[in-house]
């Protein structure tokens, strides 16, 4: 259908005006949204008037949603309803409005409904009644629009309990799905917890619950709204679409456009504002719940004592009238521990008094204060919202000034899920589940909570953390030997996972090196628990059955050395089963199990470059290789790989051994151009599941001739890419080196691969420095190209 448009309402003119507006850089945030909403009002108003939708016509064009609130973002739809009263309207009336809008290419969410139909839906549908709370007249009959808005608000207010329950459940599900804006690497600005949708919900609560203020009258929330809206608007502008997840590749450009010095400051601002919104939201829902319960639903003042200065009142931890945060140095942490142990919040009045009265402790903490901190951290996951409350009100930074530099600090690496501060709290919560496995639970909890505190300071975070934790530990009142253990936990918090994934955990030299660094079994136990807690808090790429098994083996071997027991080395390759397969003298691929921990065993006649060809085929067929071990006997070779199997879309997939055997035979015969095929797959794969990085990892090659008595170790760090292992093993083969084992570790966007290589003549380590340097240069050249 070709639309007929009125003067001043031509689609091309609106489109040109819109493009000019969005390109006008001085406008951002709510100012741009209001300007864009006004532009849309003029366009739609002219279309509606030409179609006969005028005052007194019995028809009203009403904006709802973000457009109704004049928060129309560049990628948002025009969300409108044509409401009529008392009669059906001709089809050509709405068509005269909708078709010109479609001609502009702008999204349109539209409907045509009678007044009775709209109000009937508003009585049963949460989305409809919420939409009416944001409704406003764009064009047409003022009386119809006023009636619609008045009756919509009446509908919202007359069945408050039903709507509050539905809105709360909807909010809970949304938060569970999209996560917390403040703490995520790539937050969802609109739907996530602490995002713009929560502010819309707060306005809805304020429209019916007298215990909730309209956030527009609250300067801190108004500031949060403006900040989050400005980021969303700029994200839409620079991507040209309705993208609400602030992806890593977009963060630098958004920061530059909004005049932040760098993306870290942008993400810190987003985190600060989102935490503010989430805090107000949680508090508002608690007040609404208490209001709905009424006096009969509350305890009516029957306080339950929880200790000096603390009571449980109406399901919250509160302070008694005579409690004094200035005098009682442990009060804030005792209150937090009580709330976490009971799984209840700290009362708003309690937090206010703690914020006003809690003092910074200059000298060594009394044992009561230190024990209260340990009790709070020991509550596990229930401690996280309590720590968040103490952090939000400034109490936490007052007790621990070193906390301030890690507050809201982003970790712009796909290896991490959370900001630094949230990661530390999550790690401590995980450590609380592991305290039974260590002799000193207090050191485990505190050391885990502080292990990355150095990330708030310049330079290497481990070196900075060592200095900071030494200072904190002494101020907390730990004795010097305990402070030394806390420092060791920070110094070596990456030791076990790094060694387990990059070195042979059964190599005596590796085990002895770790034992010398750790020093004693108690510290080893603490580091083992810290490693697990840290990995679980980091993300799926940091901890899983494969890594857990490697760390457990390393810990067991190091423990034996520290205890003076003989080292039990796992039998190497080939096993008896491998020899049975090798005796057949032909190419054979065996795939055992599926999913995480899948083992791919390749038996084939030995030849130069066999490992490179096998790794290329595995990459081509969608396998992520975690580790590799190689052995030869006579003219046959066996190669065993631990893999994760995925297709290009990220779904689990395992190719049968027969298919891999056929593919490998073709590749060995030169019938598959692995380089070309892998390059093609990388283009597709890069658009799928690969974690993204804010900044690409720089390729590095390190050669260690002391890590093993029988082999040289070549460690490669590089940006992740399909077939990377094939590139490296092909290069090593071209330089005449045999790979006897390999460890592969993926750190989000970056991989760290370690290869144990031998000289095929001496069957030992490579002693020629010039040869190793040539290998290093060749690898760097290849990795730069890949």
pLDDT in tens, 559-615: 999 999 888 777 778 999 999 999 999 999 998 864 456 889 999 999 989 999 999
| Cα–Cα distance, 503 to 558 (Å, whole number) | 14
Residue 406, pLDDT score: 95
The tens digit of pLDDT for each residue in 437-447 reads 999 999 999 99
Residue 624 to residue 544: CA distance in whole angstroms: 14
The DSSP-derived string for 262-331 is SHHHHHHHHHHHHHHHHHHHHHHHHHHHHHHHTGGGS-TT--EEEETTEEEETTEEEE-TT--TTT-TTH
Summarize the confidence of residues 521-533 as an average pLDDT.
Answer: 97
> What is the DSSP annotation of 774-785?
HHHHHHHHHHHH
Average pLDDT over residues 23-47: 92
For residues 193 and 180, is the Cβ–Cβ distance under 8 A? yes
Task: Give the pLDDT band of residue 786 (cuts 50, 70, 90).
Answer: very low
Query: Average pLDDT, stretch 283-291?
Result: 91
pLDDT at 551 over 80: yes
CATH 1.20.120.330 is the classification of domain 162-294:
yes
In this prediction, residue 649 carries a pLDDT of 46
pLDDT at 397 over 70: yes
The pLDDT tens digits for 240-281 are 989 999 998 899 999 999 999 999 999 999 999 999 999 999
CB 215 within 8 A of CB 225: yes
pLDDT value for 596: 52
- Range name among 25-39, 382-396, 574-588, 650-664 with the lowest pLDDT average: 650-664
* Half-sphere exposure (Cβ direction) of 412: Cα atoms closer than 13 Å: 20
Confidence of residue 691 (pLDDT cuts 50, 70, 90): very low
Question: Which range scores top for mean pLDDT: 474-488, 608-622, 756-770?
Answer: 474-488
Pick the CATH number of 588-785 from 3.40.50.300, 3.90.1580.10, 3.30.70.260, 3.40.190.10: 3.30.70.260
Q: Can you spell out the DSSP letters for 52-117?
A: T--TTSSEEEEE-HHHHTT---TT--EEEEEEE-SS---THHHHHHHHHHHHHT--EEEEEEEHHH
Residue 289 DSSP code: H
pLDDT of 745: 74
Check if 11-158 and 588-785 are the same fold. Answer: no
3-class DSSP assignment, residue 590: strand
Q: In angstroms, rounded to a whole number, what is the distance separating the alpha carbons of residues 715 and 738?
A: 15
Which CATH superfamily includes the segment(s) 11-158? Beta Polymerase, domain 2 (3.30.460.10)
% of the chain surpassing 70 pLDDT: 93
Q: What is the mean pLDDT of residues 687-714?
A: 74
Sheet holding 623-633, edge to edge: 588-592, 598-605, 636-645, 623-633, 738-747, 750-758, 712-719, 700-704
pLDDT for the residue numbered 185: 85
Model's pTM, two decimal places? 0.81
pLDDT given for residue 363 in this prediction: 81
Domain boundaries of the chain, sorted by first residue: 11-158, 162-294, 588-785
Beta bridge partners of 301: none
Quote the tokens at residue 57: 């016509």
Instruction: Look up residue 519 and give its DSSP letter.
Output: -
Is the N-terminal amide bond of 659 cis, ω within 30° of 0? no
Q: What is the pLDDT of residue 680?
A: 82
pLDDT tens string 660-672: 999 999 999 999 9
Q: What whole-number distance in Å separates Cα of residue 739 and Cα of residue 447?
A: 39
* pLDDT tens, position by position, 74-93: 999 999 999 999 778 888 99
pLDDT digits (tens, 9 = 90+) for 134-159: 999 999 999 999 999 999 999 999 99
For residue range 617-659, list pLDDT tens digits in order: 998 888 888 788 888 888 999 999 888 765 544 444 556 788 8
Structure tokens at 109: 């969410």
The structure tokens listed for 440 are 């000193």
**By mean pLDDT, which of 122-126, 257-261, 734-738, 740-744 is the weakest?**
740-744
Give the pair of three-digit tokens for residue 655: 């190719």
Q: What is the mean pLDDT of the chain?
A: 90
Residue among 430, 434, 439, 442 at smallest CA distance from 473: 442
Q: How confident is the model at residue 6 (pLDDT cuts 50, 70, 90)?
A: low
Specify the range with the lowest mean pLDDT, choosing from 54-63, 155-164, 691-700.
691-700
Least-confidence region, from 1-10, 43-52, 253-262: 1-10
Alpha-carbon distance 492 to 489, whole Å?
Answer: 5
Torsion of CA 405, 411, 415, 421, to 10 degrees: 40
Determine the Cα–Cα distance for residues 470 and 488; give it in Å rounded to an integer: 10
């Amino acid at each position: 259908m070709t639309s007929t448009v009125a003067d001043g309402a031509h689609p091309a003119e609106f489109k040109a005006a819109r493009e000019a507006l969005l390109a006008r850089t001085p406008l951002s945030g709510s100012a741009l949204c209001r300007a864009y909403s006004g532009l849309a009002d003029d366009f739609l108003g002219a279309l509606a008037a030409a179609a006969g939708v005028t005052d007194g016509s019995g028809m009203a064009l009403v904006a709802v949603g973000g457009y109704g609130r004049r928060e129309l973002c560049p990628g948002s739809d025009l969300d409108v309803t044509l409401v009529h009263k008392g009669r059906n309207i001709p089809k050509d009336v709405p068509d005269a409005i909708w078709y010109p809008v479609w001609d502009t290419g702008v999204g349109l969410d539209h409907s045509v409904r009678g007044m009775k139909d709209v109000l009937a839906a508003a009585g049963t549908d949460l989305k409809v009644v919420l939409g009416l709370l944001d409704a406003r007249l764009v064009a047409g009959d003022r009386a119809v629009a006023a009636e619609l808005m008045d009756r919509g608000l009446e509908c919202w207010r007359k069945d408050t309990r039903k709507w509050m329950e539905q809105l709360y459940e909807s909010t809970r599900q949304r938060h569970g799905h999209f996560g917390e804006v403040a703490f995520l690497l790539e937050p969802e600005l609109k739907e996530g917890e602490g995002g713009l949708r929560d502010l819309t919900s707060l306005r809805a609560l304020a429209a019916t619950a007298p215990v909730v203020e309209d956030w527009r009258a609250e300067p801190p929330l108004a500031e949060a709204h403006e900040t989050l809206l400005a980021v969303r608007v700029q994200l839409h502008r620079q991507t040209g679409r309705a993208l609400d997840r602030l992806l890593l590749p977009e963060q630098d450009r958004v920061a530059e456009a909004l005049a932040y010095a760098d993306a870290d400051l942008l993400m810190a601002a987003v985190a600060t504002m989102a935490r503010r919104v989430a805090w107000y939201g949680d508090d508002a829902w608690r007040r609404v719940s208490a209001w709905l319960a009424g006096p009969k639903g509350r305890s009516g003042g029957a306080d339950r004592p929880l200790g000096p200065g603390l009571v449980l009142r109406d399901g919250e931890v509160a302070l008694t009238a005579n409690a004094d945060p200035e005098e009682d140095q442990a009060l804030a942490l005792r209150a937090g521990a009580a709330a976490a142990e009971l799984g209840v919040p700290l009362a708003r009045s309690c937090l206010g008094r703690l914020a006003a009265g809690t003092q910074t402790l200059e000298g060594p903490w009394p044992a009561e204060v230190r024990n209260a901190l340990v009790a709070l951290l020991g509550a596990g996951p229930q401690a996280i919202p309590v720590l968040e409350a103490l952090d939000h009100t400034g109490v936490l930074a007052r007790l621990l000034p070193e906390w301030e530099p890690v507050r809201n600090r982003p970790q712009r690496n796909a290896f991490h899920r959370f900001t630094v501060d949230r990661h530390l709290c999550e790690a401590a919560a995980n450590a609380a589940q592991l305290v039974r496995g260590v002799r000193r639970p207090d050191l485990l909890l505190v050391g885990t909570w502080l292990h990355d505190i150095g990330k708030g300071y310049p330079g290497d975070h481990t070196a900075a953390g060592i200095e900071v934790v030494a200072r904190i530990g002494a101020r907390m009142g730990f004795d010097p030997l305990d402070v030394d253990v806390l420092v060791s936990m920070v110094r070596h918090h990456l030791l076990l996972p790094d060694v387990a994934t990059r070195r042979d955990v059964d190599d005596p030299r590796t085990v002895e090196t770790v034992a010398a660094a750790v020093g004693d079994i108690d510290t080893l136990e603490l580091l083992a628990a810290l490693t697990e807690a840290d990995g679980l808090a980091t993300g799926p790429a940091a901890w899983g059955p494969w890594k857990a098994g490697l760390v457990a083996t390393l810990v067991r071997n190091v423990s034996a050395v520290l205890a003076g027991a003989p080292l039990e080395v796992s039998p190497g390759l080939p096993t008896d089963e491998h020899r049975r397969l090798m005796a057949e003298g032909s190419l054979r691929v065996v795939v055992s199990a599926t999913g995480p921990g899948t083992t791919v065993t390749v038996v084939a006649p030995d030849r130069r470059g066999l490992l490179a060809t096998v790794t290329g085929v595995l990459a081509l067929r969608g396998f992520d290789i975690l580790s590799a071990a190689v052995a030869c006997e006579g003219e046959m070779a066996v190669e065993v790989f631990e893999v994760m199997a995925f297709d290009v879309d990220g779904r689990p997939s395992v190719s049968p051994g027969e298919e891999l055997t056929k593919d490998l035979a073709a590749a060995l015969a030169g019938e598959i151009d692995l380089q070309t095929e892998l390059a093609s797959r990388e283009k597709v794969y890069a658009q799928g599941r690969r974690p993204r990085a804010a900044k690409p990892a720089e390729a590095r090659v390190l050669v260690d001739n002391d890590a093993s008595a029988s082999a040289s170790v070549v460690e490669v760090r590089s940006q992740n890419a399909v077939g990377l292992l094939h590139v490296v093993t092909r290069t090593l083969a071209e330089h005449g080196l045999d790979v006897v084992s390999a460890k592969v570790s993926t750190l989000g966007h970056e991989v760290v691969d370690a290869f144990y290589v031998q000289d095929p003549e001496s069957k030992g380590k490579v002693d020629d420095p010039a040869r190793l340097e040539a290998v290093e240069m060749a690898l760097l050249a290849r990795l730069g190209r890949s």
